[in-house]
Amino acid sequence: MSTHRIVMAIAPGMPIFEAAVPCMIFGVDRSHVVSPWYEFSVVAVGGEPVPLLPAFQFDTATPSGDLERADTLVVPACLNVHDCPPPELVDVVRDAYRRGVRILSICSGAFVLAAAGILDGRRATTHWVHADELARQYPSVRVDPSVLYIEDGNVITSAGTVAGIDACLHLVRSDHGAAVAAEVARRIVMPPHRDGGQAQYFRPITAPTSGDNWLAPLLDWVTAELHRPITNADLAAHARVSVRTIERRFADVLGLSPLQWVLSQRVRRAQQMLEDTDQPVARIADACGFGTPAGLRAHFTRVTGVSPTVYRKTFQARA
């Protein structure tokens, strides 16, 4: 079995964490787990020492010739998604794709892949904060901000930061099997497997802050009444308008139906209570208007991708 060569291409201003993830997964010798392990190297595009953020400089990158030998190319996050990616890095990605190299982007590294044209017509993801911008800049990319990572042929895109670890472990699993990937995950104290289709943690949908003099008081009323059932008729009665007006106004301002927005606020309230209190799930379900623990679990899991119990274990503040 030949050694699989993984090369990470870095450019000035890339965040340290996203650049460190592939080094941690692929760059540590794990031949005691499986042999041969990967041959891993880092190439500084342009050949000069690369300053990463915050205040860190990468001086030991290998010669650019490694790029031509790569079986897998990794592109970490960009610093500023509003700036054009370095042309040299875009060329590296485009050339690798033409040679049939497997390509992985982490977080906003998807912008580099999109600039190279290799995401056109593909489903791809990035950090949810940048998803709208990726779709705006590259309308031919089918941006899905709801998942941890997406594999489309030999192109893999991952969501923000820690999702890059999941995507790297996915490659280990594809190359060496689930047992090896699970062992690597244990070594770095990570869950052995989070499926790529699992949701990125729920992005709260907040009330608009401008141009909403008519709607804002109604939204405030909803957040104060989340403990009880709320229908479109209730909203219309409180606002003293028709149900049709309520539905149209929510769609125009929030891009959601009234009941979708109410559900988002119930989930948001549940998140806050799971993070900040020790109240039992039954009490949280009642306070957020889900009625029963089963109702809370069903809606919460569908929206966030994880159960209330898992969410609490992950995010609850500890003294």
90: domain CATH number is 3.40.50.880
141 and 31 assigned to the same domain: yes
The parent domain of residue 56 ranges over 5-187
Residue listed under structure tokens 């190279």:
116
- 117 has a pLDDT exceeding 70: yes
**DSSP classification of residue 109:** G
286: three-class secondary structure by DSSP = helix
86 and 10 assigned to the same domain: yes
Q: In angstroms, rounded to a whole number, what is the distance separating the alpha carbons of residues 25 and 177?
A: 15
User: What pLDDT, on the 0 to 100 scale, is given for residue 58?
Assistant: 59
Instruction: Name the pTM for this structure.
Output: 0.66
250 and 155 assigned to the same domain: no
27 and 167 assigned to the same domain: yes
Residue 205 CB coordination number (10 Å)? 15
Whether 45 is covered by a domain: the verdict is yes
231 and 180 assigned to the same domain: no
User: What pLDDT, on the 0 to 100 scale, is given for residue 202?
Assistant: 52
160 and 266 assigned to the same domain: no
What's the pLDDT tens digit per position in 139-192?
999 999 888 899 999 999 999 878 899 999 999 988 998 888 888 988 887 765
Q: How many domains does the chain have?
A: 2
Any idea what the CATH number is for the domain that residue 293 is in?
1.10.10.60
Whether 77 is covered by a domain: the verdict is yes
109 and 51 assigned to the same domain: yes
Whether 195 is covered by a domain: the verdict is no
167 and 241 assigned to the same domain: no
Roughly what angle, to the nearest 10 degrees, separates helices 258-276 and 232-239?
100
Residue listed under structure tokens 């070594």:
187
- 319 has a pLDDT exceeding 50: no
Roughly what angle, to the nearest 10 degrees, separates helices 308-315 and 293-304?
70
1: three-class secondary structure by DSSP = coil
